[in-house]
């Protein structure tokens, strides 16, 4: 099914600031919407001075989505600053995670183009109860299912968690406009995205690509000096190192990011990279590969002792089935 492949190539070209003159923009926009990259597509073309090359209706649609997302991100930023200020007054300096980092670092009145679903904060385990009480004083209420805290007037939920000592390097204290936070260094943020997608959510085995997170990694590598070799050395076992190298090959394939040459030396890494790209560009004939990967990942999850202990094998089976069957923003 070359239409998906052509749309993916055109979307990636647009994210790199070079719109394709032969793109099927309906397919490109559908894929950008699905992968949550529509505002990034507009901003990438605008920064490259290529936005004028778009058809008028495409330009108007992308600008509309971009502007709506900008307003939402400004609201999320105000929500984040309010929460940080309240925590600081209690003597708590939160660790910002994922999309909260660019929101906090963006200048006043401006917002990053990245679509952010919610705000993720972490505090020391001993501070978690006090931090939750502080947020409840602001009107936050726990959402059913333990998915975070929310208020009716906000643009998104806020997820508060206990800080875990799993970062690649110590967090950096940052102070801006009188507010104090901790921010993971670029290496730790890159490691978090890779481990979360390829290992925790099983993308390495399932043959999926989170194009938005891959774009995040490409931007991070462009703005910060990420030491990929140090990340490789930090991986706990061969399977984790294979997953990292597979993601780095995808990063180089789609966005031209410079990576260590040894990433492509192992046959299993080259095969996994080929499988992910093939199933992304040929979803119908690549379906058997995707099915085999899902079965492997589901089996690994089912046999995982720590997962089974949380709710029993039947609960795990339900969660695995729900994850496999729910619609995904990944390709």
Q: What confidence score (pLDDT) does residue 325 get?
A: 57
Residue 210 confidence class, pLDDT cut points 50, 70, 90:
very high
Q: Tens digits of per-residue pLDDT, 77-120?
A: 999 999 999 999 999 999 999 999 999 998 877 889 999 989 99
More confident residue, 18 or 303: 18
Residue 321 has pLDDT above 90, yes or no: no
The pLDDT of 153-160, averaged and rounded, is 94
Q: What confidence score (pLDDT) does residue 111 get?
A: 87
Residue 7 to residue 184: CA distance in whole angstroms: 34
Q: How many CB atoms lie within 10 A of CB 313?
A: 11
Residue 140 has pLDDT above 70, yes or no: yes
In this prediction the pTM is: 0.88
Q: What confidence score (pLDDT) does residue 308 get?
A: 46
The tally of CA atoms less than 13 A away on the side-chain side of residue 221 is 21
Q: Tens digits of per-residue pLDDT, 227-286?
A: 999 898 888 789 999 999 999 999 999 999 999 998 888 999 999 999 999 999 988 888
Residue 256 to residue 265: CA distance in whole angstroms: 18
Q: What confidence score (pLDDT) does residue 324 get?
A: 55
Percent of the chain clearing pLDDT 70 (strictly above): 91
**How far is Cα of residue 53 from the mean position of the Cα atoms in its chain?**
29
Residue 284 burial (10 A CB sphere; 0-12, 13-18, 19+):
exposed
Residues ≥6 apart with Cβ < 8 Å to 216: 114, 193
Task: Determine contact, residues 54/89, Cβ cutoff 8 Å.
Answer: no
Residue 1 has pLDDT above 50, yes or no: no
Angle between helices 38-47 and 25-34 (to 10 degrees): 120
Helix, strand, coil shares, percent, the chain, to 5: 60, 10, 30
Residue 208 to residue 329: CA distance in whole angstroms: 10
Place of tokens 């055109």: 10
Residue 170 has pLDDT above 90, yes or no: no
Q: What angle do CA 37, 43, 45 make, to 5 degrees?
A: 100
**Lowest pLDDT segment from 39-43, 95-99, 327-331:** 327-331
Q: Tens digits of per-residue pLDDT, 51-84?
A: 999 999 999 999 999 999 999 999 999 999 999 9
SS3 of 281, please? helix
HEC sequence for 219-249: HHHHHCCCCHHHHHHHCCCHHHHHHHHHHHH
The pLDDT of 189-201, averaged and rounded, is 91
Average pLDDT over the chain, rounded to an integer: 89
Q: How many CB atoms lie within 10 A of CB 189?
A: 22
Q: Tens digits of per-residue pLDDT, 240-253?
A: 999 999 999 999 99
Q: What confidence score (pLDDT) does residue 110 get?
A: 81
The sign of the dihedral angle between the CA atoms of 72, 146, 102, 247 is: negative
Residue 3 confidence class, pLDDT cut points 50, 70, 90:
low
Residue 171 to residue 186: CA distance in whole angstroms: 10
Place of tokens 């990245």: 114
Residue 302 to residue 313: CA distance in whole angstroms: 7
């Amino acid at each position: 099914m070359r239409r998906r492949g052509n749309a993916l190539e055109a979307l990636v070209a647009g994210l790199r600031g070079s719109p394709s003159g032969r793109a099927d923009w309906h397919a490109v926009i559908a894929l950008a919407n699905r992968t949550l990259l529509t505002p990034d597509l507009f901003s990438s073309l605008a920064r490259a001075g290529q936005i004028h090359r778009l058809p008028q209706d495409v330009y108007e649609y992308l600008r509309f989505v971009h502007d709506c997302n900008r307003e939402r991100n400004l609201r999320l930023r105000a929500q984040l600053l309010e929460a940080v200020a309240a925590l600081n007054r209690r003597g708590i300096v939160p660790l910002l995670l994922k999309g909260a980092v660019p929101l906090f670092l963006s200048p006043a009145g401006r917002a990053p183009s990245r679509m952010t679903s919610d705000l993720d904060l972490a505090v020391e385990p001993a501070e978690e109860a006090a931090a939750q009480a502080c947020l409840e004083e602001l009107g936050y209420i726990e959402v059913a299912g333990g998915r975070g805290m929310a208020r009716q007037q906000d643009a998104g939920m806020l997820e508060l968690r206990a800080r875990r000592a799993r970062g690649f390097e110590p967090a950096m204290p940052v102070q801006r406009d009188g507010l104090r936070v901790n921010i993971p260094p670029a290496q730790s943020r890159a490691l978090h995205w890779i481990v979360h997608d390829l290992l925790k959510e099983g993308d390495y085995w399932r043959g999926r690509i989170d194009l938005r997170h891959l774009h995040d990694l490409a931007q991070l590598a462009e703005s910060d000096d990420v030491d990929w070799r140090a990340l490789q050395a930090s991986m706990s076992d061969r399977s984790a190192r294979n997953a990292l190298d597979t993601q780095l090959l995808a990063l180089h394939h789609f966005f031209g990011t410079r990576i260590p040459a040894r990433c492509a030396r192992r046959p299993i890494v080259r095969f996994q990279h080929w499988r992910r790209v093939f199933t992304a560009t040929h979803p119908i004939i690549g379906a058997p590969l995707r099915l085999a990967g899902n079965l492997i990942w589901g089996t690994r999850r089912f046999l995982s002792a720590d997962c089974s202990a949380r709710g029993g094998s039947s609960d795990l089976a339900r969660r695995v089935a729900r994850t496999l069957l729910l619609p995904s923003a990944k390709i």
